[in-house]
Structure 1
């Protein structure tokens, strides 16, 4: 036997690959080591692919072709994507992984004639992979559509029939999957699994409101990992099992942490999110109130003479690509002896860690980034809070209005600061689709305009002081 195809060599390469992947993931816990961690993990995955190719499979050229096509499509897409579009790119790329698993399951079913001569665990693992992989693919496409604003971010339903239809479709897909282990051999069964799973995914994600979308992305990412691990079990491929379990476990942990950060359960989120619009009563209660405007010059004076400043970044900062301008402003405040901190809500932006990545890109010192639990006690002792495009995560209605769709979600307690300056383009609601009562409080002033332009104007005024 050729030494290149020895099982011991392949096993050794797999162990080394997994060690690199895990070590690389450890590096992603901080912005200073994240890039290196990415490269190390990518190297580990590349080594796992090489080890798989060395197993002597007859159609290895198909894998090589897939790698080439994936590289040609994926690398330019990843390099050109804007940071504001990163969440939908993650959703799309994750969905592609789940779709690939579903297609492999279909191919395996056809190749082995419905697993008539295969062990029971092979058919069970393959059908599980088909079901979950299809859910991940189609659910991720819907999430991509909402994030890309191809679909409305508000909950979309079929009315009273939506939930019963969703349950019925899921049971139909599960029934098709159970048919095979019971001895029914028909390709229509695996097709039924894929189709009903696709319908279930679409019906599941459509009613989920925009505020829940970061949790949904994480959940679907976990689904992709679990489907890959199941497919690895069916194919007896160690690399797929380990990599899939890492993705599935980490995605599940992250989903749970984010759900807790929103004071929600994962089943409640899946059953239908916060909703995209406030109740008519809630809108009427604030509809006749006015906001207080300010100028860049007045904002600069407040900031320059503050005891400390807390910046609350949100998706509006990402859209305006204002992170570098914010860092320059913070440096100017430092020259005036004013300490600056950044309050990071767990679901700020449209994916986990969105704000951390943006600020790390602008070389914001990591010790200035404060998580919600750490910073919430500081707002009451802070002269000025600068909110840049953050909406739902600063809305006091989450704590004060039982009728609000986001009631119960932990927020950054910005309203406790002595003064709040909000940078926004307009009074349009956030991703959850509801008005922010913070904007109407007497301690809040609004500076309308592009976030980057407004921050640059404030910085210029600070330099002139």
Structure 2
């Protein structure tokens, strides 16, 4: 039986890796998910076959409850709420690891007869898992607008307080590893780590939230891998390391895309829901346009680049955008899509939305690829994007987003921005693009506006 279980684990994590490879493109992503899910089923079966596994009633109850909660939540969630769901489900994983570490502490009398590496790995899992669980819940609350998206901190005491909580959690862990078996110590570790997770994420504003989600995901993976080491569970080690490694790489890429260091993001700094201005002085004029004028301008263009942002996601305008692009292409106009790495509220948010609308994936161009094409673009159509197209990131050293790589739509021959109002983006700073002489503003709901453009294009 031991050999059979080992084979199941090997097949399981092989399917994890193969499934992850499928996530590199929309055509293979669904298949990749199913392959990885099959690997998880095998891993669960292998775990249940482990000698000494008991309490089947509680196991069945847990599986049933998980299915009853997880399946409806995943099926009913809107694409605009996907970042919140990712944050919440990721947090659940960290919480599960922390609880397993707690159970392991209790079942071994405080690791009394366990090797040192088991105690250290388990305590690491408890600390990091608890941070991930509570931090992810705060991220969920911010994204769901259950709590303010603005940075919330205690000022200059923020970093000393975070350090104190970290030292308290580590101190409890060191005491346990040294032989103390008091249940109050493991409880203290979990509570201190929980408070640390809350206090780390609260001061982080909406502009940094995509990176926070990715970072917490990586932490959950690392805690799971450490727990697998403590439990001698091969599948848990491999799966955790895959999540931890991929999450860490993605976090680093996202931070670079925002010209921000990960320590600076964790320390908090900017990003919030409040409206503020990057410049002072008299109100600057903007030029409004209509759906009819927008349709005419694009109909006589040779090349149009669509720049999607969170506004498109909120309005669920991706299908209307695809219909508009089809009409333009029927007229011989070249249409492509410019994707910024942090557009939306999570990595790949725009890619997923456009893939859902069957937009050909080869039309989606990453920032580094498309920026050189904007000077040859007749019309750049910005749909709900804000900070990622703000020229202040390159021209205004006093701006909080200065230095952040942007989509250089301002170098296009003309720019049309679809937006509900003149409100600021997640970073809370004014957008200089809106006041550019070559920019026209089409105010209103993105889906409604694009729908009106489609009707106008049909008449041309």
What is the 5 A alignment of 1:282-301?
282-285=278-281, 288-301=283-296
Is the contact between residue 424 and residue 447 of structure 1 (CA under 8 Å) also seen in structure 2?
yes
- RMSD, aligned α-carbons: 1.3
Distance 1:421 1:310 in 2: 10
Residue 180 of structure 1: SS of its match in structure 2?
helix
Q: How far is the alpha carbon of 1:278 from its aligned partner? A: 8.7
What is the 5 A alignment of 1:148-297?
148-276=144-272, 282-285=278-281, 288-297=283-292
What is the 5 A alignment of 1:381-396?
381-396=376-391
Q: Give the match for residue 3 of structure 1.
A: none
Q: How far is the alpha carbon of 1:185 from its aligned partner? A: 2.1
Distance 1:90 1:278 in 2: 25
Residue-by-residue CA offset, 1:279-325 (whole Å, 9 max, x unaligned): 9773424x511211000000001111112000000010000000000
Against the structure 1 CA distance between its residues 239 and 281, is the aligned structure 2 distance closer, same or farther, given a 3 Å change threshold? Answer: closer
Q: How far is the alpha carbon of 1:336 from its aligned partner? A: 1.0
Q: Give the match for residue 372 of structure 2.
A: 377
For 1:428, which of 404, 423, 429 is the aligned residue?
423
Is the contact between residue 278 and residue 405 of structure 1 (CA under 8 Å) also seen in structure 2?
no
Q: How far is the alpha carbon of 1:65 from its aligned partner? A: 2.1
Residue-by-residue CA offset, 1:7-54 (whole Å, 9 max, x unaligned): 111111111111111111111100111111111111111111111111
What is the 5 A alignment of 1:51-70?
51-56=46-51, 57-70=53-66
Distance 1:279 1:401 in 2: 18
Is the contact between residue 148 and residue 273 of structure 2 (CA under 8 Å) also seen in structure 1?
no
Q: Single out whichever of 118-127 and 155-164 deviates more from structure 2.
A: 155-164
Against the structure 1 CA distance between its residues 277 and 435, is the aligned structure 2 distance closer, same or farther, given a 3 Å change threshold? Answer: farther
Distance 2:231 2:432 in 1: 55
What is the 5 A alignment of 1:26-41?
26-41=21-36
TM-score by length of 1: 0.97
Q: Give the match for residue 122 of structure 1.
A: 118
Distance 1:428 1:412 in 2: 19
Q: How far is the alpha carbon of 1:277 from its aligned partner? A: 7.6
Q: Give the match for residue 462 of structure 1.
A: 457
Is the contact between residue 299 and residue 421 of structure 1 (CA under 8 Å) also seen in structure 2?
yes
Against the structure 1 CA distance between its residues 449 and 275, is the aligned structure 2 distance closer, same or farther, given a 3 Å change threshold? Answer: closer
TM-score by length of 2: 0.98
The number of residue pairs the alignment matches comes to: 459
Distance 1:55 1:185 in 2: 27
Distance 1:308 1:417 in 2: 10
Is the contact between residue 316 and residue 451 of structure 1 (CA under 8 Å) also seen in structure 2?
yes
Q: Give the match for residue 335 of structure 1.
A: 330
Is the contact between residue 279 and residue 403 of structure 1 (CA under 8 Å) also seen in structure 2?
no
Residue-by-residue CA offset, 1:120-143 (whole Å, 9 max, x unaligned): 111101100000000000000010
Residue-by-residue CA offset, 1:247-301 (whole Å, 9 max, x unaligned): 111111111111111122111111114343899773424x511211000000001
Give structure 2 stretches of 5+ with no counterpart: none
